[in-house]
Amino acid sequence: MNEHKFTGKADNYDKYRPSYPDELMDWLYKNTAAETVADIGAGTGKFTACLAQKPWSITAIEPNSDMLEKLRSNLPEITVVQASAEDTGLAAKSFDLITVAQAFHWFDKERFKTECQRLLKNGGRLAIVWNERSKTGFEAERDKICMKYCGSFHSGHVFTGDSRSDGDGDSFLRNEYFTELEYFCMDYFVPMTKDAYIGDILSRSYALTEADEHYEQFLTELNAVFDKHQKDGLVTAKYKSTCYLGRL
């Protein structure tokens, strides 16, 4: 895992990344009967905060120092550990459930699986969660600008950084990674002000920063897309919230 991908992006990530639907949390709670949860790659605690709505004992694991500082500030009641996903240093057979939200694509998948098998109690499960962004409407125009300016732009998840599709990722999780699987999926709509729309983009690992040569042009074109599609000062971003819940 590259722990420096989000250095300098924690503020935007914390302010502007969307949360997760209550229906997903209810589904996880109902279908796992878990008591102890490890949220790995927790970032600033977006998903951890959703987990904390349920009476679970939660440990959050995050390697990046900037994100970790926000995580600790946001959720002082949660046990927080600075460690990589592949080597958490946590005690074996400690957790009923491991969750990974918006982070699995950064992990060494086989090493992470081995670590999960070590951490999970007998019968324990892993939940891999994403808010997948729409690729239609204003989102398609936004992505075209990101593709133009951001050399490492990607819109997929499981196989970020290579040429395999979202469909390949779905097949990999269903047919190779898990031994048994339950699946959750729902559309999730997030109204965004211009600040939230820009902040969400700037929180992405591939987004330009102020130090980059074409940063101002990047922002100008993104702002133009918002202005074209906004209604009463808002655009509505469409996400597909998904969860792969299974045994390894």
Domain boundaries, the chain: 10-134+155-189+239-247
Task: Give residue-wise pLDDT tens across range 106-149.
Answer: 999 999 999 999 999 999 999 999 999 998 999 999 999 999 99
Cα 144 from chain centre? 21
Confidence of residue 8 (pLDDT cuts 50, 70, 90): confident
Residue 156 pLDDT: 61
Write down the mean pLDDT value for the chain.
Answer: 93
φ, ψ (nearest 5 deg) of residue 229: -105, -10
Task: Give residue-wise pLDDT tens across range 63-89.
Answer: 999 999 999 999 999 999 999 999 999
What is the token pair recorded at 131? 């808010």
Cα 48 from chain centre? 11
Helix axes 215-229, 194-202, angle to 10 degrees: 140
192 near 198, Cβ under 8 Å? no
Q: What is the CATH number of domain 10-134+155-189+239-247?
A: 3.40.50.150
Report the predicted TM-score, pTM, of the whole model to 2 decimal places: 0.92
**Portion of the chain with pLDDT greater than 70, in percent:** 93
57 near 43, Cβ under 8 Å? no
Q: Which is more confident, 56 or 169? A: 56
